[in-house]
Amino acid sequence: MVSTAISVLAATGCAAHARGTRRSTGVPVIEFRQADVVEIRMRLSIASRCKRPLPTSPVRSVDAERAGCRLRPYRGSLPLIFQSRELTWLDASVRLDPNGRVRLRYSELDAKVRRAGFQAGLHTFEALGLGNESSVGRIDLRALLHARADQHFLWISRGWGAPALFAPFHAGHPEHGNAERLAVDARVARQRRDLAAVKDAQLGAEEFLRRHPWSPFRFVLDKRLRTLEPSEK
């Protein structure tokens, strides 16, 4: 699922730039791209003075070399075009380094969108275009976010991370209910460990209740508190 979402990255948006490239000011070229469920890392160049037409499919450095183009690092800002059926929002604040490298972390993009007033974050949109007129490509956000949710659930099902964070970010996911049950199990397991620490006198009963105001073990702690001296609580 992740590869399906990311493969869309450079599959569209290049046709308008590939025509008439011999005298064009430049065509974005993807020299390197690596993507996973956390981020996309790319190195981009600009191809110009091409002797032959570039392909209309993803333009790679090898394509530019075969077309006899000159390559220089893509510098400045990379426009981001967030798109849905109802609206399009343009943000141009992502800058590339002097060598044309850029890293797009999905969590930072989500925060950026929320700060702009879109409370659902990236879930507001269906696609993310990279470059003017999506010249570098487009990302299928629906497929990507679903893949991220699948990976998140895989992690928590193996005991990694915090199950309680799944539900707020992936409310519509098919594993939402299972994630909630895992979150409850994890919460009870933490309380069992703290209860054992109370019984071993390594944790105060009052500190337990501060950590876990709503606990199925509260009656045990209430009983213990009644039997303790004030200095022992």
For 49-100, how does the pLDDT look when each residue is reduced to its tens digit (9 = 90+)?
999 988 775 688 888 888 999 999 998 888 999 998 888 887 767 899 999 9
pLDDT tens by residue, 111-161: 999 898 898 888 889 999 888 878 788 888 888 887 877 776 776 666 666
Helix/strand/coil for 104: strand
Distance CA 66, CA 58 (A): 14
Is this model's pTM higher than 0.75 or not? no
The residues with which 81 forms a beta bridge, in sequence order, are 90, 129
Task: Write out the H or E segment, with its range, that includes residue 128.
Answer: strand 127-130
Q: What order of strands is seen across the sheet that includes strand 127-130?
A: 88-95, 77-83, 127-130, 137-140
**Tokens found for residue 80:** 């981001």
Distance CA 64, CA 70 (A): 8
Backbone angles phi, psi at 191, to 5 degrees: -70, -35
